[in-house]
Structure 1
Amino acid sequence: MRKLTLAMKREERSFWFFIAPWFIGFVCFTGGPIIFSLLLSFTEYNVISSPKFAGVSNYTQLFGDRLFYKSLSVTLYYSLLAVPFTILTSLIIAVLLNHRIKGQTLLRTLYYAPSIVSGVAVSFLWSWLLNPQFGVVNSVLYDWFGIEGPGWFTSPGTVVPSMVLMQLTASGSTMVIFLAALQSLPADLFEAASLEGANGFTKFWRITVPLISPVILFNTIISMIASLQIFTESYVITKGGPDWNSYFYVYYLFDTAFKQFRMGYASAQAWILFLLIFALTLVSMWGSKRFVHYEYDSK
């Protein structure tokens, strides 16, 4: 018994030894800054001078800030377009790549590869593709179809949809998750449905979608969180323009923190974003109870 106790203690020490680097990194670079930002949100702090306690003035000032509402509305508009677009395109491509075709592995790799490329590089690529003067897309539209292409990133009405279109090369991870879910589905259900005369669309809508509904919910929440934190595309391509129509919330937070050096105010902005994401995630989880099938009974 004593030897067993000593072995358990050695195992426990080994556990803490191996987990120590991650734990120290989390405390120093993630958990610590999160707590520090919460404390800063109740102060006035400009980096140069010491923080001064300001109570909830940062939060009250934020709710009276017109740029707060502008950036939030632009971000929510982008999210409402980007999340359904990302989920639908990723699911459709995953279904197509789930079929056995020649070059299947190569096609999967080609679609996934852009998602691991730097967001800055992808943004530069799309800014060239959608350039209204010499971009490939507008050239094809005019030369092949005689259509005068839009301004894309230079027009207030098309700048956000253009950034949504960029998700075509950024949703590789979402597609891979869908593909893994599709490959784990039981084949006997589809065989039975085929014997009953079900066509491809019926099998997809009545069998595939209900069975992968937890994965759809997961990808929807992850896509929503990512869309509410959009920053790189606006910073690299439009600088928040034209006419503030791509001035996203995180861009506003960036300006407040690293251009105006109002760290306390920026921390309050960050915590408002956290609460918004948390609330929308809870609403998504609650609203999905009727549509998500968490268990599969094979009997």
Structure 2
Amino acid sequence: MSMLGELRTIGRSRRGRNDEAHGKDDKAALAFLAPWIIGLLGITVGPMIASLYLSFTDYNLLQNPGFVGVENYARMLGDERLWASLQVTFTYVFVGVPLQLAAALLLALLLDRGLRGLALYRSALYLPSLLGGSVAIAVLWRLVFGAEGLVNSFLAVFGIQGPSWIASPETALSTIITLNVWTFGAPMVIFLAGLRQIPRHYYEAASIDGAGPLQRFRSVTLPLLSPIIFFNLVLGVIGSLQAFTQAFIVSNGTGGPSDSTLFFSLYLYQEGFMGFRMGYASALAWLLLIIVAAFTAINFWASKFWVFYND
């Protein structure tokens, strides 16, 4: 056999061994990915497809779903409680998210000053974020803002008779917004990490140019921290649009008083699991998906005008 023929034979042999090795690697990768793929199809994709189908049906969990076309979506236009829930939810988002981010940024700035025992303060301030969405904290919030709660007990020391904050339509939503602001720990930690990444020489240069603390914050901190603000903003908006536990516990699942705490997700729950109108609830779930996607897309579009990436 000629030298050229031997080289070709060796090349084919090596390619065969490489192909066999790649085949084994592919099978191993699929084996490791199989639980995730099964979970994705069975827990996420499958229920989403089923929900989309049910949104075009009349289904009460007890009988077979009957196809009704776009009737569920048309019903939304005249559903007054749906529009009330959207108003409550948007108020919660537009008021609660900026206040939470402002509180988180303020505390991050304070912690960034090199306090002794920083790890302890950071852990203590982060703790409400771990507990803020839990049932226990929501129950505690009812006790704090109830007619004989901690807030009114404090006001009584000064001779002030406070109302039942969670039972008044004027203040019920404000108590839940306060609870949301109180869970500032997660964005605070992210802000603190972002502040630590800002080069100190920018502040030194600004100080040499005569910039005061407020001007350094406005001209250096905010622009360089804008990607972190954007990240926290997107997560905060998405989470607030899906808020459920606080309103459910504080209002005993009614959304009261006078639907003042009727969040969209709570109304969806009432329709699906209290009124057994699962077809309509599925349509509401898809409306919520569209709203979340729209808010996220708007945030990404608007970020082009105010987010600064220091490449």
Asked whether the 8 Å contact 1:132–1:149 carries over to 2, the reply is yes
Q: SS state of the match for residue 85, structure 1?
A: helix
Q: SS state of the match for residue 304, structure 2?
A: coil
Cα 1:7/1:181, change in 2 over 3 Å: farther
Q: SS state of the match for residue 131, structure 1?
A: coil
Aligned counterpart for 1:246 among listed residues 258, 261, 272: 261
Deviation, structure 1 residue 189: 1.3
Deviation, structure 1 residue 68: 1.0
- Which residue does 1:99 correspond to in 2? 113
Q: Equivalent residues in 2 for 1:1-299 (5 A)? A: 1-2=14-15, 3-117=17-131, 119-133=134-148, 135-143=149-157, 145-238=158-251, 239-293=254-308, 295-297=309-311
Deviation, structure 1 residue 235: 1.0
Rounded to whole Å, the distance in 2 between the matches of 1:211 and 1:99 is: 17
**Structure possessing the higher radius of gyration over alpha carbons:** 2
Asked whether the 8 Å contact 1:81–1:161 carries over to 2, the reply is no
Rounded to whole Å, the distance in 1 between the matches of 2:125 and 2:25 is: 43
Give a deviation string over 1:29-76, Cα, whole Å, max 9, x none: 112111110111011111111111110000001211111111111111
* Aligned length in residues: 294
Q: Which moved more, 1:53-62 or 1:221-230?
A: 221-230
Give a deviation string over 1:208-228, Cα, whole Å, max 9, x none: 111111221121121111111
Rounded to whole Å, the distance in 2 between the matches of 1:65 and 1:23 is: 39
Deviation, structure 1 residue 197: 2.8
Asked whether the 8 Å contact 2:97–2:236 carries over to 1, the reply is yes
Q: SS state of the match for residue 92, structure 2?
A: helix
Rounded to whole Å, the distance in 1 between the matches of 2:223 and 2:23 is: 46
Rounded to whole Å, the distance in 2 between the matches of 1:104 and 1:168 is: 22
Give a deviation string over 1:198-242, Cα, whole Å, max 9, x none: 222222211111111122112112111111112111111113111
One-letter code aligned to 2:262: Y
Q: Which moved more, 1:283-292 or 1:247-256?
A: 283-292
Rounded to whole Å, the distance in 1 between the matches of 2:113 and 2:136 is: 31
- Relative to the length of structure 1, the TM-score reads 0.93
Q: SS state of the match for residue 157, structure 1?
A: coil
Structure 1 unpaired stretches of 5+:
none
Rounded to whole Å, the distance in 2 between the matches of 1:48 and 1:109 is: 48
Give a deviation string over 1:1-21, Cα, whole Å, max 9, x none: 423333333332222221211
- Relative to the length of structure 2, the TM-score reads 0.89
Identity across matched positions, percent: 40
Cα 1:245/1:105, change in 2 over 3 Å: same
Q: Which moved more, 1:255-264 or 1:176-185?
A: 176-185
Q: What is the alpha-carbon root mean square deviation over aligned residues?
A: 1.6
Asked whether the 8 Å contact 2:73–2:283 carries over to 1, the reply is yes
Give a deviation string over 1:145-179, Cα, whole Å, max 9, x none: 44433432111111111111102332221112212
Q: SS state of the match for residue 288, structure 1?
A: helix
Cα 1:168/1:283, change in 2 over 3 Å: closer
Rounded to whole Å, the distance in 1 between the matches of 2:38 and 2:65 is: 26
Rounded to whole Å, the distance in 1 between the matches of 2:247 and 2:59 is: 27
Structure 2 unpaired stretches of 5+:
1-13
Cα 1:103/1:138, change in 2 over 3 Å: farther
Rounded to whole Å, the distance in 2 between the matches of 1:220 and 1:147 is: 37
